[in-house]
Amino acid sequence: MHQLTLANISKALAAKQFSVRELTSHLLTRIEQLDPQLNSFITLSKDSALQQAEAADELRSTGISAPLLGVPLAHKDLFCTEGVRTSCASKMLDNFVAPYTAAVVDNLNKAGCISLGKLNMDEFAMGSSGETSFYGASKNPWDTSRVPGGSSSGSAVAVAARLVPASTGSDSGGSIRQPAAFTGLTGIKPTYGRISRWGMTAYASSFDQAGFLAHTAEDCAMLLQATAGFDERDSTSAQQPVDNYVEALSQPLKGLRVGLPQEYFDSRLDSRIGDVVHTAIDQLKQLGATFVDISLPSLPHAVPAYYVIASAEASTNLARFDGVRYGYRCEDPKDLEDLYLRSRNEAFGEEVKRRIMIGTYALSTGYYDAYYLKAQKIRRLIKNDFDSAFKNVDLILGPTTPNLPWQLGSKVNDPVAAYLEDIYTVPANLAGIPGLSMPAGMIDGLPVGVQLLAPYFQEARLLQVAHQFQQHTDWHARTPAGF
């Protein structure tokens, strides 16, 4: 059962090949047996999952067969879930039990999904490796000595190891697409505002976007179908019509024009990954797509612009964690200032502190114009680059990451080196466009992802191309040894 995709689970449940409770119990057992070596879960919701499973079985027995009814998944631990710890993988929120449920989780609950628990991540979504978590690093099931990517590390690991068929994630600078590439999954970051951010703990508010990790584009389409749409509780939620993502999957690729940015194929890219990307290009050509060379000239400035703006927003968003209202509080503070200082110093990890300091500095008097304002101007240039490119092409294709997943601990003391791994993913967040990473090959036993980018609200096109590619390749069906 654990080898089935989300779509196949839906079909099997409809055909009564097994019950929701049998499936849920099977996955819970796998998690208890296998996750200690992977560390993908922070909280396992065993009792409530079984209760939800029994309720789903009762509904199915009455003839109700909604596509996601009884399908198990798990959530990145920054989505508030009523009655369940929502820690953001931080000591600061280790004792925080959410009093309400995030919009994306609530929509999936209404669709009938079973929540198996909350997944590990980089602390407050700040990281590209899963190593900044208060609960310890998640490990890549393809090679447990390597990182799985981040910040949605646990979300990727749990799906790749077949502990759950799909998971929620969030993507501020590549935090869904990069771990998807590192673990052989399909990961989609929708257009900014496509899915409500209500109830999602903020890292960088103008970048954060909920999305999904699963084995196939079809699975991602089913999840997006259930969660996309306007939410009046979220001021950044887009009032745009929702496409039929599942129906669009079957559309052929003939006539599709795909751009290849010259900036993606320079000396920063591992040449072996470049070979995988070009093999994927050849496959898509056979399916009817045509390719043209394009340029995104502002791309080299994306990483510094992103980290200035994101850190500035993080310094503001994390100011609310002060030891007063909720979260961690230091012992025996001598006065209010001591309460603030020691609570934040003791509860935040090193990477979170680093980004708060960078952001506060960039926003300070005398440096705002030199750093923050200049970064915002670069952001506009990057958006303009994409706008110009999409006048001539339907999609943009390139590598998801410049390198293979690195060894655990190898970049802990070199944060800039880790930041530079985001070079191909952060531009989409700066511009707010949708992106998807799909598995397209293997190098030395490790998965390699190819990234697709589309114009605003064209998620259906991303999913269509990935689905057609997956109908003619089997990279998405590969399983790590032992899982």
Position 65 pLDDT exceeds 90: no
What is the spatial distance between Cα 160 and Cα 163, in angstroms, rounded to a whole number? 8
Domains (ranges, CATH) in the chain? Answer: 6-257+433-477 (3.90.1300.10)
Question: Can you name the residues that pair with 397 across neighbouring β-strands?
Answer: 452
Q: Which residue has the tokens 């410049």?
A: 402
Q: Which residues contact 410 (CB under 8 A, 6 or more apart)?
A: none
For residue 58, the surrounding DSSP H or E stretch is helix 46-61
User: pLDDT tens digit string along 228-284?
Assistant: 999 999 999 999 999 999 999 999 999 999 999 999 998 899 999 999 999 999 999
What average pLDDT does the segment 312-328 reach? 95
Rounded to the nearest 5 percent, the helix, strand and coil shares of the chain are 40, 15, 45
Structure-token pair, residue 482: 């032992």
User: pLDDT tens digit string along 334-366?
Assistant: 999 999 999 999 999 999 999 999 999 999 988
User: pLDDT tens digit string along 186-209?
Assistant: 999 999 999 999 999 999 999 999
Closest residue by Cα to residue 124 from 90, 80, 162, 161: 90
What is the spatial distance between Cα 58 and Cα 478, in angstroms, rounded to a whole number? 34
Confidence band for 32, pLDDT divided at 50, 70 and 90? very high
What average pLDDT does the segment 463-473 reach? 98
Burial 427-459 (b: 16+ CB within 10 A, else e): bbbbbbbbbbbbbbbeeeebbbbbbbbbbbbbb
What average pLDDT does the segment 278-302 reach? 97
Catalytic residues: 76, 151, 175
Closest residue by Cα to residue 138 from 94, 151, 125, 32: 151
CB contact at 8 A, 424 and 451: yes
Confidence band for 106, pLDDT divided at 50, 70 and 90? very high
Mean of all residue pLDDT scores within the chain: 97
User: pLDDT tens digit string along 397-452?
Assistant: 999 999 999 999 999 889 888 999 999 999 999 999 999 999 999 999 999 999 99
- Alpha-carbon dihedral angle through residues 144, 190, 355, 37, given to the nearest 10 degrees: -20
What pLDDT, on the 0 to 100 scale, is given for residue 467? 98
DSSP symbols for 261-277: EGGGSSTTS-HHHHHHH
What average pLDDT does the segment 363-371 reach? 92
